[in-house]
Chain A
Amino acid sequence: MAFELHLDTETVEHVRPAPALIVSPDAELLEVMSLMRRDRMGCVLVCRDGVLEGLFTERDALGLMAVTADWEVSISRVMTRNPVTVLVSDTVGAAIQKMSQGGYRRLPVVDNHRRAVGLLKVSTILDYLVQHFPAFVYNLPPNPHHAMQSREGA
């Protein structure tokens, strides 16, 4: 049973980026908010003809909720333009660094023509780590002081 954590060689494609919720720049904020709730998605990609133009996250939504904003505007007015992205061919390690440095919880995954392919989420990275750890790790005593002083039955 060996570890198989290849952060330097496996690419973003290997960790299976989640399908993203995609809306057009003309979509109304009110409609986008209800889509996010329906699909329980913390983020939408704003794309025109498949090409990524912006990003709107639950953090953006929170800021608007706190000031009870006008919901009847187009999403392009409140989205973040030209968000940081990762390529499908980037390594998992590189993606983790990008996320950590920028404090992002998710990064849009794009191809070489900046067409949106999916979404790389923090949770996807965590799932990847969990899957690559042998099950016995979780059977270890949770506390260092749980160590047995003598062998059982000896």
Chain B
Amino acid sequence: MICPYCTFSNIEGADYCDRCGQGLSDLHLPSPLTKVERSLLKDRVEVLDPKKPITVPPDMPVSQVLQLLVENGIGCVIVTDAGRTVGIFSERDALIKLNTACGDLADQPVSQFMTANPQVLNSGAKIVFAVRAMSQGSYRHVPVVDETNQLTGIVSARDILRYLTARMQ
């Protein structure tokens, strides 16, 4: 019986978790039936091996950012100011905010078009949290930070799909 609080594996039928002391007897524990369900419950974001994001300064001209996205085949860049994450600029921002006016706006700084203060995830967060963050906010990318709030990576909806596919077989 996996403790839902600390994921410690107790013997079947235990009343209390051996590691954290939480009561287990009164929990109507769902029984994860498949490998996919078990993994989603247990694994943490770091399992997705978050990619190193490309970062740009807030004053970079937006045309240059578009080039970066195309050349690197990526969907978004993180905007950082002195090491701090201040925003995210994605394909979606390009479509909605630049659209066919991109020629006239080419020299404007990316900070004008980015999505400021994006939601971030801790690398220790469970994968279900990443899934929920993306689903609720309709994001495809979520920056991952460590305990000191330093940017360490980025996870995308594609990473989640890849993860699911690997566990469905």
Contacts and interface: CB of A to CB of B under 8 A. Distances in A.
A96 B168 contact: yes
A141 B158 contact: no
Interface stretch (B51-59, B79-87, B97-105): B97-105
Interface in B115-169: 122, 124-126, 128-129, 131-132, 134-136, 138, 140, 157-158, 160-162, 164-165, 168
B127 to A, nearest CB: 10
A137 B41 contact: yes
Contacts of A63: 70
Interface string A35-69: 01100101000000000000000110111011010
Given A96-B161, A123-B138, A58 B131 contact: no
Interface in A95-151: 96-97, 99-101, 103, 105, 122-123, 125-127, 129-130, 133-134, 136-138, 140-144, 147-151
B95 A42 contact: yes
Contact of B5 (A2, A40, A93, A147): A147
Contact of A3 (B7, B8, B28, B32): B32
A123 B125 CA distance: 20
Nearest to B98: A65
B132 A99 contact: no
A104 to B, nearest CB: 9
A154 B36 CA distance: 36
B165 A148 contact: no
Interface residues of B, number: 60
Contact of A148 (B21, B125, B131): B21
Contact of A138 (B98, B129, B134, B140): B129
Contacts, number: 149
Given A30-B100, A97-B168, A140 B66 contact: no
A45 B132 CA distance: 28
A140 B70 CA distance: 39
B136 to A, nearest CB: 8
A78 interface: no
Given A2-B31, A63-B70, A142-B122, A93 B168 contact: yes
A53 to B, nearest CB: 22
Contacts of A33: 95, 99-100
B4 to A, nearest CB: 6
A65 B23 contact: no
A96 B63 CA distance: 34
15 contacts: A2-B31, A2-B33, A5-B36, A36-B95, A66-B63, A96-B164, A101-B165, A127-B135, A129-B131, A130-B132, A137-B41, A138-B129, A138-B132, A144-B6, A151-B22
Given A99-B161, A123-B138, 8 more contacts: A2-B31, A66-B70, A68-B103, A126-B134, A129-B131, A134-B30, A144-B124, A147-B6
